[in-house]
Amino acid sequence: MDLTLTPAQLDLQARARAYVVDHLQPIEQEFERAAGRLPTAARDELKRAAIEAGLHGGSFPPELGGQGWSVLEQVIVHEQLGQATGGLWSFIPGAYNALIHADPDQRRRYLEPSMRGERFGSYAITEPNAGSDARTLKATARRDPATGEYILNGEKWFVTGPPDETDFMIFHCLVPGADDSDSQPLPTLFLVDYDTPGLTMKHDPDYTHTFADRHPQFVLADVRVPSSAILGGLGRADEVTNEWFVEERIHIGARCAGAMERLLTLAVEWATDRRQFGQRIYDFQGVSFPLADSAADAAAARLLTREAAALADAGVDPKVVHAKASLAKLFASEAAWRCADRVVQVFGGRGYMREYPAERYLRELRVDRIWEGTSEIQRMIVARALEKRGVGRVVG
Ligand SMILES: Cc1cc2nc3c(=O)[nH]c(=O)nc-3n(C[C@H](O)[C@H](O)[C@H](O)COP(=O)(O)OP(=O)(O)OC[C@H]3O[C@@H](n4cnc5c(N)ncnc54)[C@H](O)[C@@H]3O)c2cc1C
């Protein structure tokens, strides 16, 4: 497999890097000190600059307002985004890939304004009693035969999106079968505006990281939406959500690889300059060897992630791509966590100061081992694939 970047891909990489270095990294500290809040003008500036750099709506085709990037191109960009702390890339206008299934009216109402940075969506799957095992979701949408509307009920946790910006959710729920039959409930997605009566934010907890996104809990109590709010068709939620998991697991792998590159760059700069006991601390193997191990981690994470992306682009069996995406996310997120811990140690007391990126990464990279499926769930997917697809197709 040839993973050499084309001149156009190198240009994309340079544009993404310039955006991160010129717009995101300079505001990281101020953002941390402000507990993750940015004034409207600063948010608008991040959106404007992203659109000017052609970084918005990456995976969506140009006719829908996006950039038409291949999965590998998405990875090239996310490797750069991972070099900023605070999850500040969340302000780049775009949309969950589920909106590729939007009908013309949904495109006009949700997708097109998202591409312009006027609307932001969230994706609500997890519930208080259904996390890793999404088969046990309880949220429902019952059709009212009198009006044809759907009545949504349920409680959703960790509903991620930038505060003051996010104004609609993709609600993953079950449409019960007809009462008089044995038909199975149909997993279905609905587009729900946050200002729809019956939808309330119940709690907005703080988390380990200081991020551009908040992750509140919502309750939907008899929320009425028209049948035109169904996204992607009745009964298609599992399939569409799975497309999101695979894409986002690859993006996480890429951001973790990027985070490791930045951590290593900072650590080498510091350790080759810092002197103790009359010499550079880099000359102590206790300092340089953990960095060498981290370099091996970073390079392997990048390769695994780019490989998963290239296989997706080549149209390889989606089940193999699914396993490869899990492998990349599992390895890259575990490796990035190890790398952040080592780099904090190399920085000594400074590594524990929030002003230093290493400290922020240590808190921020932890969640990559949890969201979009925990490391244990990725191991389950990989282990099943080893048996069902064959070892050669998973590791080959
Ligand atoms: C900051 C943040 C943002 C999030 N954003 C979103 C979002 O936008 N939308 C959304 O829908 N969800 C979101 N999530 C939810 C996230 O996807 C879940 O937290 C995650 O899937 C784990 O589910 P859980 O928290 O219910 O843990 P549980 O499923 O209860 O798992 C608890 C522990 O048991 C382990 N475990 C469970 N089953 C097995 C098994 N079969 N074998 C071995 N170990 C197992 C898990 O790995 C974990 O260690 C977010 C979570 C966080 C922390």
State the SS3 of 58-103. Answer: CCCCHHHCCCCCCHHHHHHHHHHHCCCCCCHHHHCCCCCHHHHHCC
Distance CA 12, CA 76 (A): 8
CA dihedral of residues 66, 69, 75, 80 (deg, nearest 10) = -60
Give the number of the atom of ligand 1 that is nearest the alpha carbon of residue 122.
8
Q: Which residue's CA is the nearest one to ligand 1's atom 42?
A: 376
Ligand 1: centre distance to CA 370 (Å):
6
Query: DSSP of 254-270, one letter per residue?
Result: HHHHHHHHHHHHHHHHH
Q: Which residue's CA is the nearest one to ligand 1's atom 3?
A: 158
Locus of tokens 């490391």: 375
pLDDT of 61 reads 97
CA dihedral of residues 272, 276, 279, 285 (deg, nearest 10) = -70
Ligand 1: centre distance to CA 129 (Å):
10
Ligand 1: centre distance to CA 131 (Å):
5
pLDDT of 179 reads 60
pLDDT of 181 reads 62
Q: What is the mean pLDDT of residues 111-125?
A: 98
- Answer yes or no: are the C-beta atoms of 325 and 362 closer than 8 Å: no
Kindly report the CATH number that applies to the domain delimited by 120-235.
2.40.110.10
For 235, residues 6+ apart whose C-beta sits below 8 A from its C-beta are 175, 186, 187, 188
Distance CA 23, CA 15 (A): 12
Mutate which of 211, 245, 371, 382 for ligand 1 pocket (most atoms within 8 A of beta carbon): 371
Which region among 8-22, 56-70, 166-180 has the lowest average model confidence (pLDDT)? 166-180
- Between CA 261 and CA 121, with CA 257 as vertex, the angle to 5 degrees is 120
pLDDT, mean over the chain: 97
Ligand 1: centre distance to CA 248 (Å):
15
For 366, residues 6+ apart whose C-beta sits below 8 A from its C-beta are 208, 209, 337
- Answer yes or no: are the C-beta atoms of 115 and 65 closer than 8 Å: yes
Distance CA 173, CA 215 (A): 19
Please write the tens of the pLDDT for every residue from 278-309: 999 999 999 999 999 999 999 999 999 999 99
Who has greater pLDDT, 49 or 2?
Answer: 49
Q: By C-alpha distance, which of 165, 150, 154 is closest to 202?
A: 154
Please write the tens of the pLDDT for every residue from 141-165: 999 999 999 999 999 999 999 999 9
Do 238-395 and 7-94 have the same topology in CATH? no
Assigned token pair, 79: 């490797």
Model-wide pTM > 0.75:
yes
Give the number of the atom of ligand 1 that is nearest the alpha carbon of residue 376.
47
Residue 396 predicted with pLDDT over 90 = no
Name the CATH superfamily, with its identifier, for domain 7-94: Acyl-CoA dehydrogenase/oxidase, N-terminal domain (1.10.540.10)
Please write the tens of the pLDDT for every residue from 229-249: 999 999 999 999 999 999 999
Phi-psi category of 28—alpha, beta or left, where left has phi over 0 and alpha has psi -120 to 50?
A: alpha
Distance CA 153, CA 192 (A): 12
pLDDT of 178 reads 65
Percent of the residues in the chain that have a pLDDT greater than 70, as a whole number: 99
Mutate which of 374, 380, 384 for ligand 1 pocket (most atoms within 8 A of beta carbon): 374
Residue 27 phi/psi, 5° resolution?
-105, 5
Give the number of the atom of ligand 1 that is nearest the alpha carbon of residue 373.
21
- Taking residue 108's Cβ as centre, other Cβ atoms within 10 Å add up to 11
Ligand 1: centre distance to CA 373 (Å):
6
Percent of the residues in the chain that have a pLDDT greater than 90, as a whole number: 96
Please write the tens of the pLDDT for every residue from 337-391: 999 999 999 999 999 999 999 999 999 999 999 999 999 999 999 999 999 999 9
Every domain of the chain and the residues it spans = 7-94, 120-235, 238-395
Say which amino acid occupies 218: F
Name the CATH superfamily, with its identifier, for domain 238-395: Butyryl-CoA Dehydrogenase, subunit A, domain 3 (1.20.140.10)
pLDDT of 182 reads 67
pLDDT of 108 reads 98
Residue 185 predicted with pLDDT over 80 = yes
pLDDT of 100 reads 98
Locus of tokens 């997605």: 189
What b/e sequence results for 175-185 when a residue is b if at least 16 CB atoms lie within 10 Å of its CB, and e otherwise?
A: beeeeeeeeee
pLDDT of 75 reads 98
Q: What is the pLDDT confidence band of residue 1, given thresholds at 50, 70 and 90?
A: confident
Q: What is the mean pLDDT of residues 85-106?
A: 98
Ligand 1: centre distance to CA 125 (Å):
11
pLDDT of 263 reads 98
Residues lining ligand 1, Cβ inside 6 A = 122-126, 131-132, 158-160, 207, 215, 367, 370-371, 373-374, 376-377, 380
